[in-house]
Amino acid sequence: MTDTHYPALSDIDSIQQAFESAGYICTTRIATVVRLAAALEKPVLIEGPPGVGKTELAKTCAMVVDRPLVRLQCYEGLDESKALYEWKYGKQLLYTQLLKEQLGDVLDGAKGLNESMSRLHQFSDVFYSEDFLESRPLLKAMEADNGGVLLIDEIDKADFEFESLLLEVLSDFQVSIPELGTIRAHSKPLVFLTSNDTRDLSDALKRRCLHLHIPFPSVELEARIVASRVPDLAQSMTDQLVRFVHAIRSLDLKKAPAISETVDWAKSLVLLHARDLDGPLVQDTLNVLLKYEEDIQIAEGQLPKLLAAAAG
């Protein structure tokens, strides 16, 4: 089976390489799922703790296939007028006002209500045509000429009803607009949905998606990620830092540090010209890594143990 839309995604090894050169280091599992998504034309539902690169995956994918990324950020109360389409009411009103006189001309000489109506019908749906249609992200992704990448971010934050709305889009790649009919995607976009697991998604939605769970990376993988993002940091320092972060994640914290926080920490250590991971330095910069006062206190209490783990 070959894929014509996204030739860049037809082989797992080359996916890994392409992603790596775009600055995203991915496991075989992630590459496999991306490959399947392109071949089976199915959306991918990405789950995992915050900050493991779920959104980044979609962005990188758009970069690799060199197509536009359409992003829909979900929130409570998101509805079809913000996700699918909306009529440009203002423009419609303005046009009817402007065209009032034209209407007079059109209706000039018509006898009775029936004839006026039938004349009006000749211009039938001028006000409900694509000119007055405001495309929102989902429709935009369907309309893209050459496919693209659609990112539906944090789907778990949207209402339950919104999920049902997505079903048509995700399984058939089409949008029904009562006034216009069905708009079908010219070429199917790659779809990524992300979820932070704050609630269970409906089975119907899950069934339409390939499922990808991204956990916190292994020490080796995270060291590679940090090295690629912060090349200025010495190799030995990177290793220490990543082992330290892994030791911290094993503590019982309110919020475990994510990859992005590891990277931030690495950047700040470069700025501080740190050469070695020692007690005072860690104590001063721990707030980059941990975002709650309680967490910082827990980590400070365990500092010698954590540093020992970092030293390997």
Partner 1 sequence: MAGAQDSATPASTSSDQLLAFVQYLRGKKIPVSPADTLDAIEVAELMGYENRSLLKNGLAAALAKSRHELTVFEAAFDDYFQPIPERPAANANSHSDEADIPPPSETSEQTGLAEGGEDLLDGLRGNALFDALESQDESTLSVAIETAAAEAKVEEISLFTQRGQYVRKILDALGDEALREAAIEFEQSEPAAFEAVQALREQLRERVRDRVERAYLIHAAAATEDLLDESLSKLKLGNIDHSQMARLKRLMDRMARKLAARHGRRRRRYRRGKLHVGETVRRAIPTDGIPFHPRWRKVERKRPQIMAICDVSGSVAAYAKFLLMFLYALQDVLPRTRSFAFSAALGEVSELFASLPVEQAIERVNLKYGGATDYGRALQDFSELALAEVNRATTVIILGDARNNQADLRVDLLAELKARSKQVIWLNPESTRLWGTGDSEMLLVKRHCHLAKECNNLNQLERIIDKLLSDRR
> What residue ranges bind partner 1 (CB under 8 A)?
1, 12-13, 16, 28-29, 32-33, 35-36, 39-40, 42, 44, 47, 89-90, 93, 159-160, 197, 199-200, 203, 206-207, 209-213
| DSSP, residue by residue, the chain | ---SS-GGGS-HHHHHHHHHHTT----HHHHHHHHHHHHHT--EEEE-STTSSHHHHHHHHHHHHT--EEEEE--TT--HHHHTEEE-HHHHHHHHHHTHHHHHHHHTT--HHHHHHHHHHHTTTGGGSGGGEEE-HHHHHHH-TT--EEEEETGGGS-HHHHHHHHHHHHH-EEEETTTEEEE-SSPPEEEEEE-SSSPPPHHHHHTSEEEE--PPPHHHHHHHHHHH-TTS-HHHHHHHHHHHHHHHTS--SS---HHHHHHHHHHHHHTT--S--HHHHHHHHHHH--SHHHHHHHHHTHHHHHHHHH-
Based on CB atoms, which residue is closest to partner 1, 35 or 246?
35
| Shortest spacing between CB 80 and partner 1, in angstroms | 12
Based on CB atoms, which residue is closest to partner 1, 74 or 212?
212
Based on CB atoms, which residue is closest to partner 1, 13 or 130?
13
| Shortest spacing between CB 214 and partner 1, in angstroms | 11
| Shortest spacing between CB 61 and partner 1, in angstroms | 15
Based on CB atoms, which residue is closest to partner 1, 186 or 199?
199
| Shortest spacing between CB 275 and partner 1, in angstroms | 36
| Shortest spacing between CB 189 and partner 1, in angstroms | 18
Based on CB atoms, which residue is closest to partner 1, 66 or 203?
203
| Shortest spacing between CB 213 and partner 1, in angstroms | 5
Based on CB atoms, which residue is closest to partner 1, 110 or 128?
128
